[in-house]
Structure 1
Amino acid sequence: MSSEPVRTVSAAELAVLLGAAPAGGQPLYRGLADALRERVADGSMAVGVRLPAERALAEELRLSRVTVSAAYRELREAGWASARHGSGTFVAMPSGPPAWGTMVGAPVDGVIDLVNAAPAAAPELKEAYLDAVDELPRFMPQHGYHPGGLTTLRAAIADRYTRRGRPTIADQILVTGGAGDATEVVFEALVEAGDRVLIEHPTYPGAVESVQAAGGRPVPVPIDATDPDAFVADADRAARQSAPTVAYVMPDFSNPSGARATPEGRRRLAATLARHGVVTVVDEVAADIVLDGPDDLEPFGVPVPESATVAIGSLSKTVWGGIRIGWVRAEAARTAQLAKIMARRQLSVSVLDQLAAVRLFAWHDRLVAQRRRDLRVQRDALAAAVDERLPGWSYVLPAGGLSLWCRLPADTSSTDLVAAARSRGLLLAPGPRFGTGHLFDDHQRMPFTRPVSELTAAVNVLATLVVSADASMSVTPTLVV
């Protein structure tokens, strides 16, 4: 039986990736190890790639073999590389932090919870459930199981795609218990143990965990809100180097960066991934949360065959996270395959929730318009508060989505800041949580999904912590004679 060929990065190629020599002030081996680790963490080198032999790299970099050997050893000890006897040293990724779900707690009075980018319920939700209760009796004589979802709900979701420019029929829709459930079902179907899955970096932690739960290996590709279409060339390079079978992308207001692909960029990305034989899982949870600019961009995947993309959506951002209604849109044959997996996990999503969702889709445009108005006010208030109270913090104001992705001043750690804020009644997710390794400790996600008063209070807490940290660092010890 033939095994998959091992991919090796040559010493010359690695030297180009590493760029300039490590800055002074630290041992050479440690500077080299840090540079190698950064190239793995930012997606320049995929997990599983074989590093060049120590002697070859030493000659290429004009370093001693002892220096390269020490750098490789440091990488292995930290989990960024693994050694296979007789085969060499291979790129690896350290074990991640605790599961994203463990960070999600029940609401607590007096605590500002910005761990989740989740808005309060739309006022229409109550009326939708009251209408659903009135309609429920006609379903009660039946067994109550509706694998795949109620036909009326699947038709309503399909109609939404058709109106956006992607003709869809009910048979192409699978109803799930939220977007997270949809993601789990899709990755279970598409990913086999050892498969590589291309992901944006940074990205939503729950998606990374779903990939890993299915046995896949994430291949991080950097996403930049200032130049979102640069992702296309980087994804092309990663696909050639790592041969992923699946990709997970958020073309509309990626979480947490807020990046949005242009019409040309999304077409090029869809075509590029399809050319590599990659099935693209498109997370559209935030696609309707357009705060500035055009709200009618073509859905991702229009120019490629139906088999090349699978879309995921939910009502969690436009309506409420508490209504567990999500869906998958795919070609009908694939939807039928996914429905079998869904039926094994749970026979049916709640009929009452689905009936309420049908009514909510009838009000969709009005609900989305109000959600946009609220979030626009909250986004602008949060941005103004950060500008005023947190000098040195920077961000790209997103044209939509649910959060600011703030770069922190030098020597400021998101992990430390989050830990200190918790003791002040403010809950946040640390920056590294949105990466596959240990990057992004110099970033902080700030959702603007809570009322303006809470957002202002959150910034005030952070400002107090920053001032306290600065004061403690500026104190000069007194010499006692």
Structure 2
Amino acid sequence: MARVNLVSARALDLMLDSWRGAGATPAYEALADRIRLLILDGRIGLGTRLPAERDLAAQLGVSRTTVTAAYAELREKNYLSSVRGSGSVARQPHGAGIPAETVASGLLDFSKASMPALPELAAAAVAAAEQLPAYFGDSGFDPVGIPVLRQAIADRYTARGLPTEPDQIMVTLGAQHAIALLARTLIARGDRALVETPSYPHAMEALKSAGARLVPVPVTTHDGWDQEALEQTIQRTSPSIGYLMPDFHNPTGQTMPAALRERTLDLAAQHGTTLIADETMAELDIDATERMLPFAAYGAAGAQAILVGSVGKTVWGGVRIGWIRADRSVIARLVRARSSGDLGTPALEQLIVAHLLGDYDAILESRRRLLTTGRDFLQAQLAEKLPEWEVPRVAGGLTTWVNLGAPVSSQLTLAARNEGLQIAAGPRFGIDGAFERFLRIPISYPEAETVRAVDALAAAWRSVGRLDLAESGWLAEIV
């Protein structure tokens, strides 16, 4: 029998942080709206069983009638289904809760930090298809990667300042596959895993799925990494692994200084911590004053640093090619563990990427120009239409981490969805409901879509932000 995921009343209470609506909004409607957002945002996974009505009511300090009415509204809108013996189970119907005109015109999705497909991709696919028959004599099951691509990736690391051999590379089905494979190979249930907060939510999910206990370290748009907290966390908890995004951190856009990289790697070596550096955006600098070496290049002898990369952010998300750069012994472990999840990476996509890496510097330069335009245009739009928001000027990457000035990110996200925009609320990137003051906005979308997104956010801010803030006393503080 398949195991049903459960969310306890206490865990749901933490995710529901500040759920009560302002003004005349009935409590059951405010509760239903917040649970709906958690489902839409992925913080409550599909198929997850919610706590019993009595348990949740006791945890929230409300009447059972309030919870019963909230669950009933969610069932009516097809966000919950009732299964005998399984209670109330989360689901996500297509188009539910969105005005009909929005469904017809299409929901603009700003929940993903991505760029349009690379214009050169079609030509690369044609060239790869012409090369493919040379591989028909093989089985096609490739757990480690074709030699030509592993060599190209190794050469790229070497050119960036980290000498690398092809047998230190494993090709994966994108960066997320690489992170999940590393997590289930290197983590034993109950191990501690250091993570940044905020951070990439799917990485945290992969770590938790492998049984890790997450140990957070703060990263902010103003100060970057809290060095004291980072040092103390490693020294006091000796985590078995740490997941970091040191270059154009998602979502804050910060880059870790060289001195802190060296210090972090040295501490990790002393305490037996293997660091995983997600470098999927490492080369997407816009106007950074210094291009950093690959993270592992800063470590002394004995430091265990594993690098994860992909072309999902630079070429196109539809090309599912990523890689892991690690010691040969780690690569051997990963090869042995991989077959339980998949049997290898498609040869055609590997050939496409090998072809593109031959001209990668020019590709990156074109992407940097696109991001420069996108960042500057988004900043101008937000300054014009939402001047009270604090918008940092990022030096690279794909996102900006906007401070709304008040803890209304989840409410704003729900209202924006009704305006035709899907965007992830700040708590999606945290642990236990943190970051209600923040919203991650991609800088990589075309200008027409950016205008539409900012207009939707401005309308949502008027309908939810200003009304609720005025009644709760926040508006005077931020305007």
TM-score range, shorter chain: 0.7 to 0.9
| Equivalent residues in 2 for 1:396-411, closer than 5 Å | 396-410=392-406
User: Within 1, Cα distance between the matches of 2:419 and 2:303?
Assistant: 49
**Deviation of residue 108 (structure 1)?**
8.8
Q: Match for 1:424: what amino acid?
A: E
Partner of 2:423: 428
Of 437, 447, 450, 2:445 maps to 450
User: Within 2, Cα distance between the matches of 1:225 and 1:466?
Assistant: 22
User: Within 1, Cα distance between the matches of 2:259 and 2:466?
Assistant: 49
Specify whether residues 146 and 281 from structure 1 end up closer, same or farther in structure 2 by C-alpha distance, changes over 3 A only: same
RMSD: 2.5
Matching of residue 361 in structure 1 with residue 354 in structure 2: no
Partner of 2:284: 289
Per mean C-alpha deviation after superposition, the further-off stretch among 284-293 and 338-347 is 338-347
**Are the equivalent residues in 1 in contact too, given 2:412–2:464 (CA < 8 A)?**
no
Specify whether residues 146 and 306 from structure 1 end up closer, same or farther in structure 2 by C-alpha distance, changes over 3 A only: farther
Specify whether residues 470 and 261 from structure 1 end up closer, same or farther in structure 2 by C-alpha distance, changes over 3 A only: closer
User: Within 1, Cα distance between the matches of 2:337 and 2:316?
Assistant: 26
Partner of 1:183: 179
**Deviation of residue 141 (structure 1)?**
3.0
**Deviation of residue 231 (structure 1)?**
2.9
Partner of 1:148: 144
**Are the equivalent residues in 1 in contact too, given 2:269–2:302 (CA < 8 A)?**
no
Matching of residue 162 in structure 1 with residue 158 in structure 2: yes
Specify whether residues 188 and 471 from structure 1 end up closer, same or farther in structure 2 by C-alpha distance, changes over 3 A only: closer
**Are the equivalent residues in 2 in contact too, given 1:152–1:358 (CA < 8 A)?**
yes
**Are the equivalent residues in 1 in contact too, given 2:234–2:267 (CA < 8 A)?**
no
**Are the equivalent residues in 1 in contact too, given 2:235–2:267 (CA < 8 A)?**
no
Greater radius of gyration (CA): 1
Work out the number of aligned pairs and report it.
377
Identical-pair percentage: 37
Partner of 2:108: 112
Of 379, 382, 387, 2:378 maps to 382
TM-score by length of 1: 0.74
SS at match of 1:304: coil
Q: Match for 1:283: what amino acid?
A: D
Matching of residue 199 in structure 1 with residue 195 in structure 2: yes
Partner of 1:139: 135
Partner of 1:34: none
User: Within 1, Cα distance between the matches of 2:226 and 2:153?
Assistant: 29
Partner of 2:237: 242
Partner of 2:211: 215
Task: Mark the runs of 5 or more structure 2 residues left unpaired by the alignment.
Answer: 1-55, 61-89, 96-102, 472-479
Q: Match for 1:143: what amino acid?
A: S
Deviations 1:58-93 (A, max 9, x none): xxxxxxxxxxxxxxxx9x957xxxxxxxxxxxxxxx
Specify whether residues 77 and 201 from structure 1 end up closer, same or farther in structure 2 by C-alpha distance, changes over 3 A only: same
Partner of 2:300: 304
Partner of 2:454: 459
User: Within 2, Cα distance between the matches of 1:225 and 1:299?
Assistant: 22
Specify whether residues 324 and 306 from structure 1 end up closer, same or farther in structure 2 by C-alpha distance, changes over 3 A only: farther
**Are the equivalent residues in 1 in contact too, given 2:174–2:320 (CA < 8 A)?**
yes
User: Within 2, Cα distance between the matches of 1:206 and 1:194?
Assistant: 19
Q: Match for 1:399: what amino acid?
A: A
SS at match of 2:339: helix
**Are the equivalent residues in 1 in contact too, given 2:266–2:303 (CA < 8 A)?**
no
User: Within 2, Cα distance between the matches of 1:160 and 1:425?
Assistant: 41
Q: Match for 1:356: what amino acid?
A: I
Q: Match for 2:384: what amino acid?
A: E
